[in-house]
Amino acid sequence: MESELTTTKSALVTAAHVKQFKPCVVAPPPLQSPAQPLAAPEGERDPEGASENGEVPWELEKNGQRRSAKDCGKEDKAREKTAEGAPPDGGWGWVVLLGSFVVMVLISSMGPCFSLVYSRLLLSFGSSSTTVAWIFNSFSLVWNVMGPVVGPLAAECGHRKVAVTGAFLCSLALILSAFSSSAWILLLSFSLIGGVGAGLVVGASVLILPLYFSRRRGFANGLFMAGTSVGLFIAPHLITYLQDLYTFKGATLILGAIVLNGCAAGATYHPASWHMQHERKSSSNVTEDAQRTPLSKTTNKNKLVGLPKLPNGKHQIEKDASYRRFFVTRVVLSTVRDLGILKSSRALIIALTSTLVMNGYLNFIMMVPFMVTTARHTPHDAAWCVSASGISNLLTRVIVSALADCSWFHLRGCYMAGILLIALSSFAFSFISSLTWMTVTMAVWGCGVGAFMGLYNLIMIRYMGMKKLPSMYGASSLLNGLGFITIGPLIGYIRDLSGSYQVSLWVLVVTEALCVLLWFLMPAAASRDNRKALGREQGGLQ
């Protein structure tokens, strides 16, 4: 009887093993028609529903049923929410949105209002136009070059520390500029210190906000971007009033004190994991350092890998020393690694479009006052033209960002329409001399800029995903900075060579039109990226 039981037991075990082993036998994949596009492997395909509205024609087979990439993106979102917790889509997110809005109101006007703040000082120094241009473009260059560094710094230190440090540096730059005795000291105080500060605080604001919103991300982005337009409304009048009342030095010191409020706004940037929906009950007992995931991970809260536990807290001292010693190395290596995202065809199209369009519309708005006065109108008339563009810009940013939350909204189509509107209105402006039509054209131009900038962050999230947003933002910012010191001087040289603003404007229109053509290639670029990702995975399996 015992032998019979033993035999029966061994038979059952053998059958169980055979049953468990069967799924390990990989059947050859079914042949697919060449006309069917390949699907990217999980984790490599465009996340966040990048193929909405049929923009990216990927398909997958699961349980014999064909699924669109939009459904795959939704499943990726669901897995992310399950693993990391769902964004609050409200709650403390509204406080973060208010803080980021205040940051944009205070910081984003530093560049456009440069001439208003420092024109009297630079004229007293007798500075040339070339010197003034170098100070302004150096500020823009440093601001954008900080873009690739913000992501690694936020991963190491947290978004809050990065934002507060950046706001403090912006305030310090204005305060030091009040005591400038030459244009070159202004280059150090405003361009270098101010550029670093602005790059840090604005970059941290761009990266933290999407972590708090998912379903309402478009609406939140619209209010965030509206801070730039509100700042441009308030800052010129405030600067003029303060300088008339307190002269340059007193006004600049007051402006520095006002910008210091950005530190309070940046202090609202809690780690998003504190407020995830499944962690609300325990978030109050977790420190910021515990919630942050640095680039160099440790295995335990109280233990460093490779170091023995020493008495009297010596192991903690050794841990801190090791962490500080390799901090800069980790940030640099991570920054260089993030720039590798430009190997992606999608990322390259996004970055090149950002560089050409931003440099195009910023150089255009700089030429508008000169073109209006050349047409025998007053500077006051030029100010009305700029104000008309600012109003339409603000309204369009809020509207298109809110519409981006709707399932029927075609994000890529609206983005391309905004770029085309910028190009066409700029081209039309070069032939107009009537003040009324100039104002109308500038209002249309503002709608194009609002559509472009309102969807700028959302485009990066849609096509590259939330996890690659810091890398994508950094790479785009770097190319933007390089554009400021190449495209801007080139446009000025063309203006001096031709003696006409029209020719310079036509060059900008051509570059913006090329960006529209680039975006027609985006579906093909996305398919190419996914074929490459699939090939890498198949090569790894072999």
- pLDDT for 44 equals 39
**Averaged over 377-385, what is the pLDDT?**
76
Q: What per-residue confidence (pLDDT) applies to 503?
A: 87
Residues 485-494 have a mean pLDDT of 79
pLDDT surpassing 70 at residue 496: yes
Strand partners, 84: none
The CATH superfamily label for domain 341-542 reads: MFS general substrate transporter like domains (1.20.1250.20)
For the chain, give the percent of residues with pLDDT over 90: 22
Burial degree of 367 (CB within 10 A; 0-12, 13-18, 19+): buried
For 118-172, write each residue's pLDDT tens digit: 878 887 888 776 677 778 778 888 988 888 888 888 888 889 999 999 999 999 9
Please check the confidence at residue 419 and state whether its pLDDT lies above 70: yes
For the residues 492-496, what does the mean pLDDT come to?
A: 77
Instruction: Judge whether 252 and 114 are in contact, CB under 8 Å.
Output: no
**CB atoms < 10 A from the CB of 124, how many?**
9
The ranges assigned to domains in the chain are 84-274, 341-542
Q: What is the mean pLDDT of the chain?
A: 75
Residue 41, classed as helix, strand or coil, is coil
Report which secondary-structure segment, H or E, holds 269. none
Secondary structure letter of residue 26 according to DSSP: P
In angstroms, the CA 163 to CA 82 distance is 29
Same fold: 84-274 with 341-542? yes
Contacts for 280 with CB less than 8 Å, ≥ 6 apart: none
The whole model's pTM is what? 0.67
Instruction: Note whether 184 and 234 are within 8 A (CB).
Output: no
How far CA 308 is from CA of 266, 289, 294, 322, in Å, comes to 38, 22, 21, 13
Write the pLDDT tens digit of every residue in 506-522.
999 999 999 999 999 99
Residue 336 has pLDDT above 60, yes or no: yes
Domain 84-274 matching CATH 1.20.1250.20: the answer reads yes
Identify the pLDDT of residue 54.
33
431-446 tens-digit pLDDT:
988 888 999 999 999 9
DSSP result, 195-228: HHHHHHHHHHHHHHHHHH-STTHHHHHHHHHHHH
- Greater model confidence, 388 or 2: 388
Tokens of 504: 């310079």
27-77 pLDDT, tens digit each: 454 444 444 444 443 333 444 344 433 334 333 333 434 344 444 444 444
- Closest to 458 (Cα-Cα) out of 271, 274, 216, 263: 216
Label residue 332 by pLDDT band (50, 70, 90).
confident
Percentage of the chain surpassing pLDDT 70?
Answer: 73
Nearest to 453, CA basis, from 206, 98, 247, 245? 206
* Cα–Cα distance, 50 to 31 (Å, whole number): 26
Q: Which amino acid is at 505?
A: L
Rounded CA separation 51/410 (Å):
10
